[in-house]
């Protein structure tokens, strides 16, 4: 199982459980052949057994692969129109529970909540490659706070990559994140400070996990620490 999906979805399920939310949504923006969405299904099965929290899964994609772009912010030095096409019939035969939402994410995301009535969103993977696709996908995070966990876990795929991918805050997914943060005072997408230290050794996905903090969420301040008390007395 992909450790990035396992981590983000497990942390979301643990938070949901602490907040007594029985079911949450996990979303993959950018499905391509479907390997990620099929992994998400496996992770959801395993976490449901582990935590008791149920998952509903959604995958957004154009079906026809990457759209054309000549915008430098889309890194056309890396991506080509038509990369990562979906074999929709093949994927639909293998999917057990995820819902595919086919179309341009700029349109499908706007109707998503009203059309599908998802449970509280707990984990979102962004793998649309392009700035001009990621920017409208982030409009999901303009929805009412009640549609999200107070701290919604996110994974951004296209911010590390191979040696030729030289990502920075002025292009691609990192630019979309920065612009979202600049435009929202009460919602911020931020890395988990020191995530690698919690695992002992750093690995790539630690730099790709972010959390959408909804400071305007009514439950943002609700205590969820498993400790009922914590004291640090001096030795006798």
List interacting residues with ligand SAM (CB under 6 A).
28, 30-33, 35-36, 60-62, 65-67, 84, 104-106, 127-130, 133
Considering beta carbons, is residue 160 or 224 the nearer one to ligand SAM?
Answer: 160
Considering beta carbons, is residue 69 or 152 the nearer one to ligand SAM?
Answer: 69
Considering beta carbons, is residue 133 or 152 the nearer one to ligand SAM?
Answer: 133
Q: How many residues does the chain have?
A: 236
Question: CA 162, CA 178: separation in Å to the nearest integer?
Answer: 22
Question: CA 182, CA 176: separation in Å to the nearest integer?
Answer: 10
Where does residue 130 fall: left (phi above 0), alpha (psi -120 to 50 degrees), or beta otherwise? beta
Rounded to a whole number of angstroms, the minimum distance from the CB of residue 147 to ligand SAM is 20
Rounded to a whole number of angstroms, the minimum distance from the CB of residue 197 to ligand SAM is 27
Considering beta carbons, is residue 101 or 214 the nearer one to ligand SAM?
Answer: 101
Q: Count Cα neighbours of 104 within 13 Å in the Cβ-side half-sphere.
A: 9
Rounded to a whole number of angstroms, the minimum distance from the CB of residue 74 to ligand SAM is 9
Rounded to a whole number of angstroms, the minimum distance from the CB of residue 36 to ligand SAM is 3
Rounded to a whole number of angstroms, the minimum distance from the CB of residue 135 to ligand SAM is 10
Considering beta carbons, is residue 3 or 67 the nearer one to ligand SAM?
Answer: 67
Rounded to a whole number of angstroms, the minimum distance from the CB of residue 105 to ligand SAM is 4
Long-range contacts for 37-43 (Cβ within 8 Å, ≥24 apart)?
Answer: 37/91, 37/95, 37/98, 37/100, 38/94, 38/95, 39/1, 39/2, 39/5, 40/5, 40/9, 40/98, 40/125, 41/95, 41/96, 41/97, 41/98, 42/1, 43/1, 43/2, 43/5, 43/6, 43/9
Rounded to a whole number of angstroms, the minimum distance from the CB of residue 21 to ligand SAM is 26
Considering beta carbons, is residue 87 or 216 the nearer one to ligand SAM?
Answer: 87
Considering beta carbons, is residue 46 or 104 the nearer one to ligand SAM?
Answer: 104
């Amino acid at each position: 199982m992909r450790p990035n999906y396992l981590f983000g979805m497990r942390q979301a399920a643990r938070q949901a459980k602490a907040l007594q939310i029985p079911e949450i949504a996990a979303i993959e923006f950018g499905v391509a052949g479907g390997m990620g969405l099929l992994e998400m299904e496996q992770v959801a099965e395993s976490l449901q057994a582990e935590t008791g929290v149920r998952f509903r899964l959604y995958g957004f994609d154009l079906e026809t692969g990457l759209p054309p772009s000549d915008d430098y912010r889309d890194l056309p030095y890396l991506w080509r129109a038509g990369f990562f096409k979906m074999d929709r019939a093949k994927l639909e035969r293998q999917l057990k529970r995820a819902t595919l939402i086919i179309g341009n994410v700029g349109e499908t995301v706007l109707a998503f909540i009203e059309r599908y009535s998802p449970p509280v969103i707990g984990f979102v993977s962004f793998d649309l490659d392009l700035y001009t696709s990621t920017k409208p996908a982030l409009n999901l995070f303009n929805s009412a706070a009640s549609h999200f966990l107070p701290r919604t876990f996110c994974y951004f795929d296209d911010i590390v990559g191979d040696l030729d991918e030289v990502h920075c805050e002025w292009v691609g997914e990192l630019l979309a994140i920065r612009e979202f943060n600049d435009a929202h005072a009460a919602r911020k997408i931020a890395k988990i400070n020191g995530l690698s230290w919690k695992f002992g050794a750093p690995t790539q996905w630690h730099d790709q996990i972010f959390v959408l903090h909804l400071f305007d969420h009514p439950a943002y301040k609700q205590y969820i620490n498993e400790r009922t008390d914590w004291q640090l007395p001096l030795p006798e």
